[in-house]
Structure formats: C-alpha cells, structure tokens
Amino acid sequence: MKYIISILIISLPLLFSFRSFEKNESFTTGNLADPDSFPVPSNIPGLLFYIQRDPNSNTIVYELNTDKAGRISDKEPVHTFWIRYPEGGMRKDLNYLQRKFAYGINTKPIGNGNYELRSVAYSKLPLYLRRDVKNQYHVYADIGNRKCILNRVFIRIDGGSFWSPNVLYIELKGIEITTGKIITQRIKPS
C-alpha cells in the first residue's frame, strides 16, 4: 500500500501537467502550431538549448549549472527546468518522472571540462557540452551530418497517450560551426 501511495504522490504533478494526453485527446497535424511560432526563451544566463513540443508552448530549458563563482558543477553540469508560458512564464523544476523518463539528461565527463550528454528519452543522439574558443560553453551535435551548436529541439506529437505519445518527428535546429548557417534536421524515431 505504501508503494502505491508513493507512486501516486510522485506522479500526480506529472499527470496534471499533461492532462491533454491523459484524456487521450486527438491532435491532428492540421491543427498543430508551427514550431517557429512558439516563444523563444530569453534572459537566461547560461542557456544551452531548449525543447518544445506539442500540444502547448511549455518549454524545457537546459542551462549551464554553475556555482556563485561561475564554476561548472562536475556532478550536474546541466540544470533543466520548465518555462510554463501559458501560466505567465513561470519557472518550475522537472519532477522525478520527467527527469528520469522524459526530459532528463545523463552526463558523463570526458575530460578537460567536457561532457557527453544523452537524453533519457532518446539516447541514440550524443550531445557534447564543451567550451568554444571564447571559453563559453555550448552543446554540440551532428545536425544533418554537420557539426553544430544545438539551439532547439522540437518534438512533433500527434495523439497517443502520456506514456506512449505518437511522436511523428524530432526536429533539431542549430548553427553550423564552420559557416554560421542555421541547420535543421528531422529525425523519425524508430
């Protein structure tokens, strides 16, 4: 009984934050918003990249996790939180289930203050947290077979349920390191 109550306490905030999936409402691609119409996070020191997805404009932000002296946390170099735009832009930390099963990041130090990052939900794509020539941290990824600084991830969801959303594609958007051009790639999850 204690186990069931613990699961309910942990999962209730998650269930309410995604109530449209819990009701199994159907979304059709004709009614879904253009990813470029979503709000862009601003005034976030250390912003690395962000994730947006259907069915609303709530945004998951990944920022550099530093102490008061500006040193990166070796244990947890990336801090992740929500910006709840429909609720006035309120910031809110991810709950346990969101960190462990949906939007969390696993980190592994790879030397010289660099880290390999893997999404808990889609670990096939390695991301790398490294400093550039100006000593600024960025997240790097291969986008369209080009080395890029990752800016945004958009997840197009068309129906399904909370535990099993129908993900049509994951769109990566970043800036190519050598040319400065914006590069976009869509990945169809398997």
Phi-psi region of 88 (alpha: psi -120 to 50; beta: other; left: phi over 0): left
The residue-averaged pLDDT of 6-34 equals 40
| pLDDT the model gives residue 11 | 35
Q: Per-residue pLDDT tens for 104-135? A: 999 999 999 999 999 998 899 999 999 999 99
Helices (H), 18-175: 19-22, 96-97
Binned at pLDDT 50, 70 and 90, residue 31 comes out as low
In the predicted structure, residue 3 carries a pLDDT above the cut 70:
no
φ/ψ of 71, rounded to 5, equals -85, 135
* Amino acid present at 10: I
What does pLDDT average to over the chain? 84
Least confident window among 16-20, 25-29, 48-52, 74-78: 16-20
Helices (H), 86-173: 96-97
State how far the Cα of 152 lies from the Cα of 130, in Å rounded to an integer. Answer: 17
Q: Give the chain's domain count.
A: 1
| pLDDT the model gives residue 76 | 94
What the block records as the tokens of 81 is: 């939180």
Domain limits for position 84: 2-187
State how far the Cα of 166 lies from the Cα of 159, in Å rounded to an integer. Answer: 6
Residue where the block lists tokens 């129908």: 166
State how far the Cα of 144 lies from the Cα of 159, in Å rounded to an integer. Answer: 27
Closest CA to 127 of 170, 158, 180: 170
| pLDDT the model gives residue 32 | 72
